[in-house]
Amino acid sequence: MRHIISPTDLTLTELDELLNLAEDIIKSPKKYSDACHRKKLATLFYEPSTRTRLSFEAAMLNLGGSILGFSSGDASSASKGESVADTIRVISSYADICAIRHPKEGAPYVASLHSSIPVINAGDGGHNHPTQTFTDLLTIKNLKGRFDNLTVGFCGDLKFGRTVHSLIGALSRYNNIKFVLISPEELQVPSYIKDQVLDPQNIPYEEVKSLESAMPDLDILYMTRVQKERFFNEEDYIRLKDTYILNSRKMSLAKEDMLVLHPLPRVNEIAVEVDDDPRAVYFKQAQFGVYVRMALIILLLREGEGRPIC
């Protein structure tokens, strides 16, 4: 049984297969319109979501499958005290594959230990968000054409932003990658990312406070929202929330082919005026999320039938 808990659960070859399949789906969507006929996807969302849940559901519907699930823990038996382990044992007999989002780090992993269907982590607390990373990688592949030789800036809440943690892990596997980590001191990348991912692989990175001075070097700028829901006190959130606001003036400091990505939702960190800049690709990125999730569902269900991803 294959589960996706972290983006590096796929080897580089498997990841290539996933992204190539996603690009083939973009080219010939009709070819896949029945690929998951009679299959069911369960979406177990214990935390708010717009894009991740709906793009998973759209993905399964595009493949001719069906969907079931809940969009808040309050609407499930979690509110009565049921454990994730018990829930997934039951859901395993209702669906063929499931995507789970949970505020507690590690909850999807625990689910995977008790599941007889593939479990996909759709975001666990401030930890990981592998399918957003696959979306980000498809965006970079499609619009930039390479993963090697990139200087990637991450800006905003690098402490709690799970999309940042996952994408750093995934990009660290490519050649000549350099990271510029732009955040206030309080929101720097957690030390486990440095100790377990960056340092052992000798990935060059710098931690800086100024977005302006980092701009000219970047091939990709990954903006993030300050994660209000993970703060222990509101005062800190209010003090830090508007530290960075990307606007047209700052964009004028960037390379002509730099891409701006953002997992969305955006709050204040990108001024609306930037949306018309051709380098702003975050809405396109959200569209890619459907195709990459279609590809992932196909590959995991195939593997469940004994056909390895590669």
Q: Which residues bind ligand NCD (CB under 6 A)?
A: 51-52, 123, 129, 132, 162-163, 225, 263-265
Active site residue 53: no
The answer to whether the CB of 255 falls within 8 A of the CB of 221 is no
Active site residue 13: no
Report the residue closest to ligand NCD, judged by CB.
Answer: 263
Write out the two tokens for 29.
């969507």
Question: C-beta of 53: minimal distance to ligand NCD in Å?
Answer: 9
Beta-bridge partners for 118: none
Catalytic residue among 2, 40, 101, 262: 101
Question: C-beta of 93: minimal distance to ligand NCD in Å?
Answer: 28
Nearest CB to ligand NCD, comparing residues 193 and 309: 193
SS (H, E, C) 42-96: EEEECCCCCHHHHHHHHHHHHCCCEEEEECCHHHCHHHHCCCHHHHHHHHCCCCC
Q: Nearest to residue 279, comparing CAs of 310, 250, 239, 237? A: 250
Nearest CB to ligand NCD, comparing residues 8 and 132: 132
Active site residue 3: no
Question: C-beta of 274: minimal distance to ligand NCD in Å?
Answer: 17
Q: Nearest to residue 218, comparing CAs of 150, 158, 284? A: 150
The answer to whether the CB of 126 falls within 8 A of the CB of 159 is yes
Nearest CB to ligand NCD, comparing residues 25 and 223: 223
Active site residue 230: no
Catalytic residue among 43, 52, 139, 163: 52
First to last CA, the chain: 15
Nearest CB to ligand NCD, comparing residues 115 and 132: 132
Catalytic residue among 3, 40, 102, 129: 129
Sheet holding 205-208: strands in order across? 205-208, 177-182, 150-155, 220-223, 259-261
Question: C-beta of 52: minimal distance to ligand NCD in Å?
Answer: 4
Active site residue 239: no
Q: Nearest to residue 173, comparing CAs of 23, 16, 52? A: 16
Q: How far apart are CA 157 and CA 164, in angstroms?
A: 9
Question: C-beta of 216: minimal distance to ligand NCD in Å?
Answer: 26
Nearest CB to ligand NCD, comparing residues 212 and 229: 229
Q: How far apart are CA 297 and CA 309, in angstroms?
A: 11
Residues catalogued as catalytic: 51-52, 80, 101, 129
